[in-house]
Structure 1
Amino acid sequence: MSRGSKEKYTEKQKRKAEHIEESYEEKGLSKDNAEARAWATVNKQSGGGEKSSGSGSQKRPEQKKRARKDSARQAAETRKGNTQEGKLEQKTKDQLLAEARRMDIEGRSKMRKQDLIAAIKRQR
């Protein structure tokens, strides 16, 4: 059972919801449950009904989609530890020394691993 008016949705969104609902009904879901899931899917994919051009709609849908995708990609990289800081943390002290040598960081031979990481970050 979907709630609220569907007036703000485009014809394409309405057709999509109807198609999704039919698919759920074919899989054995009740009409109400299928309808609710269909509209939830449409809302998730398109962000709901048509938006007014007033307050709160500063980005176009394409920009929002790209921003979400970039954010998801960045989050995945962070989980893997592939941030700049994470990459430095994963290197051995010898690797960090070699990088510090290439960057001509003074006092590198006496630095601990964390000091090397900090010095390399400052140089970048």
Structure 2
Amino acid sequence: MPQWTPKDERQYEHVKESQLDRGKSEDDAQEIAARTVNKQRREEGRTPNKTTQGTGNPNTSLEDRTVDELRNRASQLNIRGRSKMKKEQLVEAIRNAN
């Protein structure tokens, strides 16, 4: 588990409660809150890994995900040539693979 600051913990609880208020399940709310906090930490440079290892929120459209997230998803789908693809090409290849 990452070393979260008290501010990170407060943000986690706030996001989790917000998601629960919106009708998300406890597990979904926890996952969304943790992803939000970890993304913030990454963007602020407080983690050794500057890029995501995830595939992005599955409820987010492919166009709204980062290229790194799309490449990670393409990797899961074993799409060849993904490292040289542009974002639009990745989106199309992922859609065709599903």
Larger Rg: 1
Shorter-normalised TM-score: what interval?
0.3 to 0.5
TM-score, normalising length: structure 1: 0.34
TM-score, normalising length: structure 2: 0.42
Q: Return the structure number with greater helix share.
A: 1
